[in-house]
Structure 1
Amino acid sequence: MGSVSELSGRPRSFTRRTLLGGAIGVGLVATAGPSLADPGADVVAARTRFFGAANVDPVTGAVRRDRVILSWFGCTSFAAALGGTVVLLDAWVPRGIHSGYVPTTVAQVGELRPDAIFIGHGHFDHAGDAGALAQVSGAVVFGTAEHCDQIQRQVDAPTFHTVALGDARSTPGETYHHSLGAIEVTAVRHVHSGPKPPDHSDAGSAPFFPVPDLRDAIANPPELCDLVALGSSLSAEEGGSLLYQFRIGGFILTWNDSAGPLAEAGPQVYDVLRGLPASDVHLGAIQGFNQPFNGLRDVRQYIEAIRPGVFVPSHHDNWLPGLTARGDTYQATLQGELDRIPADRRPALRFLSDPGDYLRPDVLTFPL
């Protein structure tokens, strides 16, 4: 695997024309990724739904290898096709307080047959379905040692493999390198979101209080099985937090499922992030426990260190009505934070709104 320094460089400039969507189907067979030995109709249907008909071979289920395709299915969970290789970033279909808000199921996500599942941290809303999904798909699970142990305990007689990237005692800023076929992966230990006293420096941000929204729970009442599943997973522990950078065919994607107060709890992590290649696309969590005290300051500081060409928010949807609100309530505040970044370093914002942008690969498709 090449060193990080060999891959450095500024991200490409993305425009509407380079956000390809699912409209280009010419030459699919010639550019398809690896075929499945026995895809079955359900696998082909799931991949088509998540990644778009123009990007999936209707016979083999192979996904185009000349694309990076991202499909959001709630909170910080994404199905990703990286140069034809299918992986999951986090593994939880939001449900419990409501049912049916996200238009998919755990079974349908499993039918994607991912090769790997990458876990950012171990809380239920990020890893609650990882064991079931790995068991049915055979995906390798990546996370800290605690994430791996916890996920194996989610199922009886687990048959899937895990790769431990440090453990809960690892120091923020530690890095781990791995490869998955042509994909090079760097994981960085960082810090989960948490409250800190208001930052009154020039870097600080005003407190942010999105108004809780119960309408979605009323419109999508919970089913008993989902309430039981939620209750049984609430005790899941963080187990440490990991940020991931994926490099494939010159394209660089960075993903973090929490944005911690690094200024106070791990400033050395900024140096590590600045030492990584600048990202073409950054998928970043924007909801956090520090927002009542410091707004979206932590989110902005992650973005400043990661230096993406395009920023895509997550963990801002109404997955826990009563405590969360629809993502649209974050948009103006997030744009205000981005506007504080100098124009020559400011990423384009590709905002996601729930529920309309769930399973919308056309808004997050990029060329390799």
Structure 2
Amino acid sequence: MCNIHPRALIGRHTALGGALDALAQIAEGRLEASAEPDAERTVVARRRFFGTDTVDARTGAVRADRVALSWVGCTTFALAIGGSVLLLDAWVPRFTSSGYVPATAQDLADLRPEAIFIGHGHFDHAGDAGRIAQACGAVVHGTTEHCVAIRAQVPDPSFPTSELGDAETLIGARHEFTVGNVAVTAVRHLHSAPTAPDRSDPASPFFPAPDVRAIVRHPPTLAGVLQSLPRLRDPEGGVLLYQFRVPGFTLTWHDSAGPLTEKAPHVFDVLAGLAPTDVQIGAVQGFNQITNGLRDPRRYIESLGPKLFVPSHHDNWLPGFTSHADRYDTPLRTELARLAPGHRPELRTMHDPADYLSPQRLTFSL
């Protein structure tokens, strides 16, 4: 879940926000600059995140004939594709629990990603983007609002940004560009939001019981709390879906699934007009699940028509607000069963914390 209420409270007090920003910099500080691709630190990080068969042990280069991903909590994924290393969102959960995800922001910087793609600007998606980009020089791709907020996360930012529209950009607008050998399409869509029950397409309400045992097993640290608090003020800044294409493979990723049915139904046609999707990684947890279950994620799947669907934003990184991924298995399978035969993707579930940093779950040969 995103858009937690303390963000609004902190945002009204500029002095408090400034003090928290200062505390955050003291608490976790600047990340070490990432090494060259053939440096031991980078090679070790890439082999851990992408698998020893995907990364050259001497040069740190990733194989161009494979696509490999590692889940880093919530909707953050490290991606090796077309010989490039990319980050999809950039945040390692550590606000209410520490160590639940076996990774750090420094680990992500050590991957030396070429680019960071921001789906939207809330803290649980972009909270580490500034420090990681500053350490490795990655280009941050996002809306104008994302880029402004992320550059403000660090003093004297020196990393480049690529702005994909601003607050006035129409919902459904497309942006086409390339990163290395990867063709990218970004589509403006919507954040999850509650709507009235959809009588024309009814789905069972879903609200999994929270499990707070993670806080006991992985208690928060002062540094993690202080680093996260200022980020509660960060605005959404618009929402982007990204499609990544290399010869023989297409990946579509989105870190929220909005109520397009009620608010922007034309976006379904835009999604259906994208290149055929081999693998879709999509958020399934959202505010509309309370009244409309998993209808919204299902309708994204319906429009994109992937061969394989991988759920995300469904793990217990924020106990009390979130729940374990396995609680989503049954309702998600029920929703997929509503798709017409022949249009139901294979489902590859990712369960926390076992499937964090498990590239064997999401490695594909081209």
42-51 or 167-176, which deviates more: 167-176
Match of 1:141 in 2: 140
TM-score by length of 2: 0.89
CA displacement at 1:204 relative to structure 2: 2.2
Determine the C-alpha separation between the residues in 2 that align with 1:142 and 1:307.
25
Residue 324 of structure 2 contacts residue 352 of structure 2 at CA under 8 Å; is this kept in 1? yes
SS at match of 2:56: coil
Task: Letter of the 1:180 partner, please give it.
Answer: V
Per-residue displacement from partner, 1:2-31 (whole Å, max 9, x unpaired)?
xxxxxxxxxxxxxxxxxxxxxxxxxxxxxx
Per-residue displacement from partner, 1:326-352 (whole Å, max 9, x unpaired)?
100001100110111112011000100
SS at match of 1:149: helix
Match of 1:287 in 2: 285
Task: Letter of the 1:101 partner, please give it.
Answer: Y
Task: Letter of the 1:344 partner, please give it.
Answer: G
Determine the C-alpha separation between the residues in 2 that align with 1:177 and 1:68.
21
Match of 2:193 in 1: 194
CA displacement at 1:39 relative to structure 2: 2.7
Match of 2:249 in 1: 251
Determine the C-alpha separation between the residues in 1 that align with 2:305 and 2:119.
20
Match of 2:22 in 1: none
TM-score by length of 1: 0.89
Determine the C-alpha separation between the residues in 1 that align with 2:247 and 2:111.
22
Task: Letter of the 1:182 partner, please give it.
Answer: N
Task: Letter of the 1:68 partner, please give it.
Answer: V
CA displacement at 1:170 relative to structure 2: 1.3
Determine the C-alpha separation between the residues in 2 that align with 1:91 and 1:276.
25
Determine the C-alpha separation between the residues in 2 that align with 1:182 and 1:323.
39
Percent of aligned pairs with the same amino acid: 57
> Relative to structure 1, is the Cα distance of residues 137 and 72 closer, same or farther in structure 2, using a 3 angstrom cutoff?
same
Residue 123 of structure 2 contacts residue 231 of structure 2 at CA under 8 Å; is this kept in 1? yes
Determine the C-alpha separation between the residues in 2 that align with 1:213 and 1:38.
40
SS at match of 1:104: coil
Number of positions where the alignment pairs a residue of Structure 1 with one of Structure 2: 332
CA displacement at 1:38 relative to structure 2: 5.3
Determine the C-alpha separation between the residues in 2 that align with 1:181 and 1:48.
21
CA displacement at 1:321 relative to structure 2: 0.4
CA displacement at 1:40 relative to structure 2: 1.4
User: RMSD across aligned C-alpha pairs, in angstroms?
Assistant: 0.9
Determine the C-alpha separation between the residues in 1 that align with 2:202 and 2:161.
39
Per-residue displacement from partner, 1:216-238 (whole Å, max 9, x unpaired)?
11100111111111211111100
SS at match of 1:343: coil
Which consecutive segments of 4 or more residues in structure 1 shift more than 2 A?
36-39
Residue 37 of structure 2 contacts residue 112 of structure 2 at CA under 8 Å; is this kept in 1? no
Residue 302 of structure 2 contacts residue 339 of structure 2 at CA under 8 Å; is this kept in 1? yes
CA displacement at 1:169 relative to structure 2: 2.2
> Relative to structure 1, is the Cα distance of residues 204 and 169 closer, same or farther in structure 2, using a 3 angstrom cutoff?
farther
Q: How does 1:93-242 map to 2 (within 5 A)?
A: 93-201=92-200, 203-242=201-240
CA displacement at 1:59 relative to structure 2: 1.0
SS at match of 2:286: coil
> Relative to structure 1, is the Cα distance of residues 173 and 44 closer, same or farther in structure 2, using a 3 angstrom cutoff?
same
Structure 1: 5+ residue runs without aligned partners?
1-35
Determine the C-alpha separation between the residues in 2 that align with 1:338 and 1:262.
18
Determine the C-alpha separation between the residues in 2 that align with 1:250 and 1:333.
32
